[in-house]
Structure 1
Amino acid sequence: MPFFLPPVPALPPGIDRSGKTAIVTGATQGIGLEISRQLLTCKVSNLVLAVRNLPKGEAVRQALLSEPAVKTANPNATIQVLKLDAENYESVQHFVSVFKAEFHDLHLLFANAGIGTAAKELASSGHEKNIQVNYLSNVLLTLALLPTLETTATKTGEPTRVTWTGSRGHKQSSLAGKPSSKKGEQVLKHLDTADALPMFTRYADSKLLCVLFQLELARHYGPDKVIVNSFCPGMVDTGMTDVLPIYLRVPVNAVKAIRARSPKKAAWIALNAAVVAGAETHGRLLGDMAVEEPWEWIKSEEGQRVQKMVWNETIGEMAGMVDLPVWDINGDGMPQ
């Protein structure tokens, strides 16, 4: 990707989400906050802010409702704050239970919450924390809400949407040609136990898992009811780099000052993936606003082997926590 990011076009006028219900995870700051703001100005009727910090989420709710643009465009909007801590499966499951008890429909799910830890940490599940937050909890959240998304699609006669925040940085993953991809070695176990991986590499590993899972998902689950995709907004001026040690934070922030996009433009990219783009994006990563061809390593024999391993390991773990769809065993993405 070039150092200077290309211009991003604004969303087409007239997007109207009246009568729709949307969930945004990681909604209190950065891209998630701006996605929430733009959904409201696009007249979404019910917005659920899925947040780790409830008081902060409530403050954001009040601030959004008081914004002149929101009050003008969507005076009857309903915003609800629900707790979701993507660092543990139990919180994801509790969030889904509470949401289903209060809402019958779901049209848009933005799985935006993400982290990049400065040092290796383990989540309560035993998984490396980047893998848990950026990948595994998104899988569980998506699968647990699929029945609601499917029912809503049947009612409306059009597909509902799930959009994850991805990254082109997945190409910096340690999995490509490294010992982690040895035959017989579990991918998730390797990433949980690998030591001495730099911060950016661990983040890239988590984002590669997202890409691999969605590509394989599209082989087993068609887009007729739910379109699942992800987007990379490029470098964005958010507080995510605040966790960096000072010797990294200073140069990274200097680069951000020169090339980073604003959260507003990043949210244009997010809403394009979730609202404007069509079924052709199912299972794919959009770089800015265009579908990107999978990285060459992913298309290689080794990449395809790892992709299937990631799918099998992930679905095996999810099977104990959520009712899984009846997957297309032929792998052509068409419903049986």
Structure 2
Amino acid sequence: MRTTARSGRRFAGRLKQIITVLATAGILSTLGATVATAAPAGGQQELMVPSSMGPIKVQVQWAARGGSAALYVLDGLRAPGDHSQWISDTNAIGQFAGDNVTLVFPVGGRSSFYTDWYRPSSTNGQKNTYKWETFLTRELPAFLSKYGVSRTNNAIVGASMGGNAALTLAAHHRDQFKFAGSFSGFVNPTFPAWNQAMRAAMWDEGMFNVDDMWGPAGDPAWLRNDATVQADKLRGLPIYVSSGNGVPGVLDLANGIGNTVNAMGLEAMSLTAAQIFRDRLAALGIPGRVDLVNGTHTWPYWERSLATARPMILDALGL
């Protein structure tokens, strides 16, 4: 009997060690286990998160001192399938390296506008329907909660395509997000002619069909996903919106002439949207910081906007 008890204790101890190792590696979470895992303070990690779209890679930098608050950071239209451009093209990681907030970088979703689509794109053979709102507000928070990340004390920011999404996701999920920021975002997609502008951009980036996303212009989905239309739902939420005016500067030198010209045109459109959004906030009596400055539609400016937003983000998260 003594030998059996001793063997049982050894087995239990060994099992506990195995669970700890697997949980630390993120394996149990990937398999959907319910084991709570302490996030490594300040470390970086790549996670594969189950979703209705299939496994989604998420790059994270854990809070410096193991805190539970998180900042979701969304990519632009050309979001790569293997990494976040915020990590490869900016110093976002370094900006928050000493802060007690987990940075969350979802990977992929090009031309998705980080929204729930009606159906798969009918023009490029897409197999799964984009369900990015579901992923960012249900599946991903549930997964991260196993690492001690809060479901309710989060901020969200995005550049270009991700800018409007950051605002609309925060508007519709106030229980999750305490701050929202848009950098050169197209924050008024129901503005005349924008349907066609988005159609052209999404066709250029992967032959995606905008009609499969929100239906034809005028469909209720367009209104639901328009940050300007939904502005009243942002009342009481700290907001930061930035846009350049299309005038190039020193930060554009590395872009090359062709890319800079394209970035100038895109930012002129972003400027118009930001002005409309600013005026909408003013009409509703909603405070929000809107910076309209020199610059174009490119990563060095969004890096600078994130640095400007950083103290506002930390304050909103109580850090």
Using CA pairs under 8 Å that are at least 6 residues apart, name the structure with larger relative contact order, 1 or 2: 1
**TM-score (ref. length: structure 1):** 0.36
**TM-score (ref. length: structure 2):** 0.38
For the pair shown, the structure with the greater C-alpha radius of gyration is 2
Structure in which a larger fraction of residues adopt helix:
1
